Amino acid sequence: MKNAKGNLAQVVPAPAGVSKKEDLARAGSRRVDNSSRARKSNNGDAGYNRRTDPKKGFRCSPAGLLRAIRKCKLRDPERTIWLKAKSRSLCASWRFTALTCVLTIFALFGDDFRLAITHLRTDDLFNALTIISCIVFTIEVLAQSLGQEEYFLGFFFWLDLISTITLALDLTWVSAELFCGQGDNDALKTSRAGRAGARASRTVRIIRLLRLVKLYKAYRAAMEKRREEEAKTQQLIQQLQPGEEIIEAQEGKSEFEVDEDGAEEDGIIGRNEEGKEDDGPKAEMRVGKKLSDMTTRRVIILVLIMLFCLPQFNPESDGNLVTSTVKFQESASFGADMVYSRWRDWCGSDGNSSHSPWCLQQAALQASYLDNGAEAQERWTNRYFLEKALLSFIYYHHSGSFFWKLYWIGAFSRNNLDTESNIGNLASLGRRDLLGERYEEELKVENWDDLFGKNGGWVDNTEPLSSSAKNRLTAPWAERCRLAVGVVVAEESRADGPEGCSITEELRCTEVEYVQALSISNTEEDSFSYVFAFDQRHNTQLEAGLSIMQTIFICFCVGLGAVAFSKDANELLLHPIERMIEKMETIKDNPLEAMRLGDLEFRREEIEQARFREKLAQMNSFWKLLYKYRPAQKSKEPMETVMLEKTIIKLGGLLALGFGEAGAEVIGQNMKGIAAGVDALIPGQKVDAIFGFCNIRNFVDATEVLREKVMLFVNQIGEIVHGCIDDFHGAPNKNIGDSFLLVWRLSGSSEDKQTKLADMALMSYVKIIAEINKSRVLAQYRQHPALQQKMRGFRLEMGFGLHCGWAIEGTIGSEFKIDASYLSPIVNVTARLETATTQYKVWVLISHCMVNLCSHDVALNCRLIDHVTVKGSRQPVRLYTIDLDVDMLDVETRGPERIIRNRFKIRQLREVRKNEKWAEEYLVYEAMRTNPDIQLMRSSYSDEFFQRFAMAYRNYEAGEWMAARDMLFTCHYQPKPDVGRRLVKSEAEWPPDGPTVTLLKFMQKHDFVPPQDWLGHRQLMEK
């Protein structure tokens, strides 16, 4: 685009989700801003910006930085989506992946390469590369945090963060500041700290090795994608027609490259047989990915713990940060060299001579005793320094706060084994003939503690020698151990006891360490050598204790790792599978329990949430934030096992809903089998039950008016019917358009329970009638214009039939479609009773079998209205009804105070109500007597009405139809003053009661004269 001056105006492409109009508008605003800034710059000081003054340099205040961050609009949803897409693209880019691979290798080996090959002058180059690595890894952490849902504050987030921070130890100025001292007085401590820091940096560098896991995963993903692309290519080659070619992948694309929107592109473009594009590579299952990630985490943590902790159990390891025995080993070897150096000055040879030293030659030794010249003085001086060095070595090593303690000192000569006693005499200390009078006086035994036992600036105070050790050192050395003769310098009780080697008698071979001078030739060693035996029982005991702790630690780590691995497998796979099997067993044993599986699962989740909230309440703010973030991340993408478990619950619920009680046997039989096929056509079984049938009146007319909304109309009625039936322990069986078949199973129940079920069945009908007339939802249809036009004064009415008896429970249909239901004349009679409610103009018709099954108090609420034979039944049936005046009820003006929208919570409350009805304290007749709706509906009927109708009915059944007629004429709901005092001349003057009118019309057909074959019952003609 060109601006007013003809220059090209740069238009920055809009982020994803921004329209072209908005893009142009933003470009226009940028042009306006640029022009305004240009005008300001042309106004001299008015356009002067002090923050960009080249003389003062660039300055940025915190307020300006905050304003710049606000301008980014990070809270804008479109900008957030765009930023996440760019972050995913960056992480998936093969160039960025290759860069991180190279920098990871540099982070692992760069510092060691610098120390091994390069000079100090190249350190700046390595520092620059290290800083670049830190920046790139920081960008990677930020991009992963924005692009991946479960990365931020996750395991790999902390791993990457720590490994990035440890790169600072590779910067030379950082390591110099931390581990290298500046003063000369601390040179030794600085050297030790430097070595310790080097060991620590090498140990911490192990964490960076774990970045190779990410490289391996990226490599594996690339290889899998390549294999899938090769498989696609082979498939396309097989599908090619003669002359067709494969569309090759675009050049320059890598398996890591993605589009700007973050979606991966396949290298090969192909279509399947239907002309649709082939699906991409199958995504890894979340369960497998989660289990793999968690296993990787456990292995990483276990390896890190082992690498950090195992060196601590080895006292001789450089990685031991607590204690180390290597330093004292160096002290012992250096001291032995000092002692032998003094021996060489006194009685040594040049190391290459084959002649024996003069002190080992008897004649030369005897001659030295008589010589008092200058040569003798020199020998006495050298002997003095030898004994002084030996005593210093003994005093500094026989006791102290270290692991090795000098136990035994000896001397040997391979070339002079026959002069063993002479070697023992020669090695003894404090001899005047070898020291001279002056030095013998200075090195008296009484002066040893003063000369060598005082602290001469050493870290540890030296302990004085015991008197027995002094006596052994001044006496000829006579204890033979191996080829040497010597004495015990430690406080040993048996040193002056029986003959033998104290070392072999008191110390194990692993508890003694022999030290000799290192700067000694083979010839000198053959002629004479000192040997020092150190007691390392403290070291051995420490190693044994650490070995025990190491074994316990390894067992603990292995056990902890096994528990962690099994915990992951249990949580992600085994426990969900066990719960699935448990649910399948529940469905197999009792298919109807499948309806409760969702409730139980909801209750389990509620308990887990309550525990989580309780645990959360005991934490501080940081852990609360972390614990709230992690479950939120987990709930975004549920595992496949959880989805499968929920699916089983849903399928079980759908089976129970679809088949009901009648299909429970079919479900159970098929679930018990091991075959994959479904055998739905199984024999039925005979059961005893209460059957209810209800029908929506005027349904055909309502269907014509409501059309598509008739389904909603029926379901609203069904919700009330099924809910009331379930509350009173019934089960809906079939929904036949405008009719519902309802069942209360009696088989397997005691007589008392059967009676209570009969009472609750009748009570459920009464509740249904009350609820459908009070419902605000159903009351809206009374004002429906089309319904009122079709049926003036429309009001929802239903008919109910109730009967009990036997039936065959099973499935009906074929392998293509089956229905679980009941077959029996009893069911047909129930349906005909419901149909007859229209003739009698009552809501409910109940058979005498049902009334006889009810309790006496509940049966008293029923009125006997006729005695008929129904088609399909040979035995006549006495018909009862329960009188209810629904006009007395008002429509509810408001809903419940507390609306519960969670259906599982609703089910739980419903189960509580259902269980309360089985309690002995719950009596159905008491509930009917105290229910305000029932009492209001029955308040229109007086006791006189029931008495007059009962008398009239007895006359009717006895064949006294004239008397019955006269009495029926007086059956008004409420007493009238002129009842029975005037003649009833037309049907308009008949009472409004439906059963009364039905009986009068039937008798009127026979002129109120019973037939000759009258047996007290008639045939019900209507179906």
Q: What is the pLDDT of residues 105-139, one digit of tens each?
A: 787 777 778 877 887 888 888 888 888 888 888 88
Minimal CA–CA distance to 432: which of 369, 358, 361?
369
Q: Which residues contact 582 (CB under 8 A, 6 or more apart)?
A: none
Q: Write out pLDDT tens, residues 133-187.
A: 888 888 888 888 887 777 777 777 777 787 788 778 778 787 777 766 554 444 4
The C-alpha R_g of the chain, in whole angstroms, comes to 52
Q: Write out pLDDT tens, residues 785-799.
A: 898 888 888 889 999
Q: Which residue has the higher pLDDT, 846 or 401?
A: 846
How far, in Å, CA of 52 to CA of 27, rounded? 25
Give yes or no for residue 258 having a pLDDT over 80.
no
- Model confidence at 418, in pLDDT bands (50, 70, 90)? low
Q: Write out pLDDT tens, residues 270-298.
A: 444 444 444 444 556 777 777 777 777 77
3-state secondary structure of 809: strand
Owner of token pair 């003939």: 433
- Model confidence at 309, in pLDDT bands (50, 70, 90)? confident
Rounded mean pLDDT of 661-689?
A: 72
Count other C-beta atoms under 10 Å from residue 230's C-beta.
12
Minimal CA–CA distance to 596: which of 662, 649, 663?
649
pLDDT for res 52: 41
Q: Write out pLDDT tens, residues 864-910.
A: 999 999 886 778 999 999 999 999 999 988 765 555 556 667 777 78
Which residue pairs, CB below 8 angstroms and at least 24 apart, start in 95-98? 96/140, 97/218, 97/256
Rounded mean pLDDT of 414-440?
A: 78
How far, in Å, CA of 172 to CA of 434, rounded? 58
Give yes or no for residue 379 having a pLDDT over 50.
yes
Q: Which residue has the higher pLDDT, 728 or 86?
A: 728
Rounded mean pLDDT of 704-713?
A: 91
Give yes or no for residue 812 having a pLDDT over 90.
no
Give yes or no for residue 837 having a pLDDT over 80.
yes
3-state secondary structure of 507: coil
- Model confidence at 505, in pLDDT bands (50, 70, 90)? confident
- Residue 78 φ/ψ, nearest 5 degrees: -65, -40
How far, in Å, CA of 730 to CA of 667, rounded? 20
pLDDT for res 149: 72
From 61-75, 361-375, 755-769, 980-994, the region with the lowest mean pLDDT? 61-75
Give yes or no for residue 964 having a pLDDT over 70.
yes
Count other C-beta atoms under 10 Å from residue 672's C-beta.
9
Rounded mean pLDDT of 355-374?
A: 71
pLDDT for res 123: 82
- Model confidence at 744, in pLDDT bands (50, 70, 90)? very high
Burial string for 30-50 (b: 16+ CB within 10 Å, else e) reads: ebeeeeeeeeeeeeeeeeeee
Give yes or no for residue 950 having a pLDDT over 90.
yes
From 54-58, 98-102, 688-692, the region with the lowest mean pLDDT? 54-58
* Amino acid identity at 312: Q
167: its two tokens: 């790169």
pTM of the entire predicted model? 0.56
pLDDT for res 183: 47
Rounded mean pLDDT of 682-691?
A: 88
Q: Write out pLDDT tens, residues 902-935.
A: 666 777 778 888 888 888 889 999 999 999 999 9
- Model confidence at 239, in pLDDT bands (50, 70, 90)? low
- Model confidence at 658, in pLDDT bands (50, 70, 90)? confident
Q: Which residue has the higher pLDDT, 192 or 479?
A: 479
Q: Write out pLDDT tens, residues 750-787.
A: 999 999 999 999 999 999 999 999 999 999 998 888 98
Q: Which residue has the higher pLDDT, 806 or 55?
A: 806
Q: Which residue has the higher pLDDT, 150 or 948?
A: 948
Q: Write out pLDDT tens, residues 459-502.
A: 556 788 888 888 888 888 888 887 788 889 887 656 555 567 88
pLDDT for res 187: 44
Give yes or no for residue 13 having a pLDDT over 50.
no
